[in-house]
Amino acid sequence: MCLLICLLISSCGATPYRPVVKDTDNDSVADKLDQCPLTEPGNPVDQVGCSLFRGQLDAVDFGPGDDYLSMSSRVSLSGLIELLNEHPEVVVQLGGHTDNVGSASENLDLSKRRVMSVVKYLVANGVDGERLKPFGFGESRPIVSNTTAAGRAQNRRIELSVITQ
């Protein structure tokens, strides 16, 4: 019995001390280092806790009334293709948007065609289409005023968000 107690006590010193690290959003980045402290569950993050899949696809843009995916847009999508292939568990929503030139119904149709241009390109490059949820929003969600050409150009966009499961 004494031998057993001695063995138990001597093994206690072999257990390394592990400090408690707080990670409120459970993204594997400690709160004190986390620059995006409210990341949604299931959303892959970078070394500072921010989603790898976030926001607007900046370099994917469209001309007025156009749903053509330019060569520069295709090049910029290569990074997204790589990320999606590295994280096969991720399902994303893609939102197509337009400026306010033309009728609301035409813009809704155009936004759907734009987002489908992106989806078709991603699928053609190996991304499983079941993981892509496209939506067209038309002119209903501008991010800036449509009163200038620059503002209208910014509103012709594709946005991406991770759907948590």
Q: What is the pLDDT of residue 58?
A: 66
Q: What is the DSSP letter of 29?
A: S
Q: What is the pLDDT of residue 8?
A: 54
Q: What is the pLDDT of residue 40?
A: 67
Which of 41, 46, 17 minimizes the C-alpha distance to 29?
A: 46
What is the C-alpha separation between 147 and 150, in angstroms, rounded?
9
pLDDT in tens, 101-120: 999 999 999 999 999 999 99
Domains and CATH numbers, the chain: 1-52 (no CATH), 53-165 (3.30.1330.60)
> Which amino acid would we find at residue 133?
K
Asked whether the predicted pLDDT for residue 145 surpasses 80, the reply is yes
pTM listed for this prediction: 0.71
pLDDT bin (cut points 50, 70, 90) of residue 10 is: low
Q: What is the pLDDT of residue 102?
A: 95
Say which residue, 160 or 51, is predicted with more confidence.
160
> Which amino acid would we find at residue 88?
P
Q: What is the DSSP letter of 113?
A: H
pLDDT in tens, 16-48: 667 777 776 666 677 777 667 766 666 666 666
Instruction: Name the residue with tokens 């496209």.
Output: 134
Q: What is the pLDDT of residue 14?
A: 60
Residue-wise over 20-48: b if at least 16 C-beta within 10 A, else e? eeeeebebebeeeebebeebeeebbbeee
What the block records as the tokens of 3 is 């031998």
Per the CB < 8 A criterion, the answer to whether 39 and 51 are in contact is yes
Give the residues across from 163 on adjacent strands. 91
> Which amino acid would we find at residue 146?
N
